[in-house]
Structure 1
Amino acid sequence: MKLSRIAAFSSSLLLAAVLALTGANPAQATAAPAALDYAALGDSYSSGVGAGAYDGASGSCKRSDRAFPRLWAARNSPSSFAFAACSGARTSDVTEGQLGSLGPATDLVSLTVGGNDAGFADVMTTCVLMSESTCLDRIAEARSYVDRTLPGQLDGVYAAIRAKAPSARVVVLGYPRFYQLNGTCVAGLSERERSALNAASDHLNTATAKRAADHGYTFAEVVTAFTGHEICSGDAWLHSANLLRIGESYHPTAAGQSGGYLPVFTAHA
Structure 2
Amino acid sequence: MFLTFRAEAAMRRVRVLATLLTAVAAALLLAVPASAAGAIRYAALGDSYASGTGTGQYDPASGSCNRSALAYPSLWSSAHQVASFSFVACSGATTDDLLANQASALRTTTTLVTVSIGGNDVGFGDVVTTCTIGSDQDCANAVQRAETEVRNTLPGKLDRTYAAIHGAAPSARVVVMGYPRLFATGACWLSASKRTTLNDAADLLATTIAGRAAAAHFTFVDGRSAFAGHGICAASPWINGVTWPVSDSYHPNRAGHANGYLPALDAVTG
> What's 2:74 paired with?
70
> What's 2:106 paired with?
102
- How far has the Cα of 1:253 moved from its partner? 0.5
User: Percent sequence identity over matched residues?
Assistant: 48
Task: Give the Cα separation in 2 of the matches to 1:253 and 1:232.
Answer: 13
> What's 2:23 paired with?
none
- How far has the Cα of 1:109 moved from its partner? 0.1
Task: Give the Cα separation in 1 of the matches to 2:126 and 2:224.
Answer: 22
Which structure dedicates a bigger proportion of its chain to helix?
2
List alignment gaps of at least 5 residues for structure 2: 1-12, 14-29
> What's 2:249 paired with?
249
| Structure whose alpha-carbon radius of gyration is higher | 2
Task: Give the Cα separation in 2 of the matches to 1:128 and 1:223.
Answer: 21
Give CA-to-partner distance per residue, 1:84-113, whole Å, 9 cap, x none. Answer: 000000000001100112111010000000
Report SS of the residue matched to 2:122: coil
Task: Give the Cα separation in 2 of the matches to 1:262 and 1:192.
Answer: 31
List alignment gaps of at least 5 residues for structure 1: 6-26
- How far has the Cα of 1:80 moved from its partner? 0.5
Do residues 134 (structure 1) and 138 (structure 2) align? yes
Task: Pick one of 149, 153, 156 that aligns with 1:149.
Answer: 153
> What's 2:231 paired with?
230
> What's 1:24 paired with?
none
Alignment of 1:86-101 (within 5 A): 86-101=90-105
- Report the residue type matching 1:82 in the other structure: S
Q: Considering only aligned residues, what root-mean-square deviation do their CA atoms show, in Å?
A: 1.9
Do residues 196 (structure 1) and 210 (structure 2) align? no
- Report the residue type matching 1:51 in the other structure: T
- How far has the Cα of 1:180 moved from its partner? 1.0
Give CA-to-partner distance per residue, 1:87-145, whole Å, 9 cap, x none. Answer: 00000000110011211101000000000001110000001111110110100110110
Task: Give the Cα separation in 2 of the matches to 1:45 and 1:77.
Answer: 24
Alignment of 1:43-58 (within 5 A): 43-58=47-62
Do residues 122 (structure 1) and 126 (structure 2) align? yes
Task: Give the Cα separation in 1 of the matches to 2:128 and 2:107.
Answer: 37
Give CA-to-partner distance per residue, 1:175-230, whole Å, 9 cap, x none. Answer: 11111122x32x3x210110110010010010000001101111111211211111
- How far has the Cα of 1:46 moved from its partner? 0.4
Report SS of the residue matched to 2:86: strand
> What's 1:159 paired with?
163
- Report the residue type matching 1:252 in the other structure: P
- Report the residue type matching 1:264 in the other structure: A
- How far has the Cα of 1:52 moved from its partner? 2.2
Equivalenced residue count is: 241
**TM-score where L is the length of structure 1:** 0.86
Task: Give the Cα separation in 1 of the matches to 2:105 and 2:233.
Answer: 39
**TM-score where L is the length of structure 2:** 0.85
Report SS of the residue matched to 2:208: helix
Runs of 4+ in 1 over 6 A off after TM superposition: none
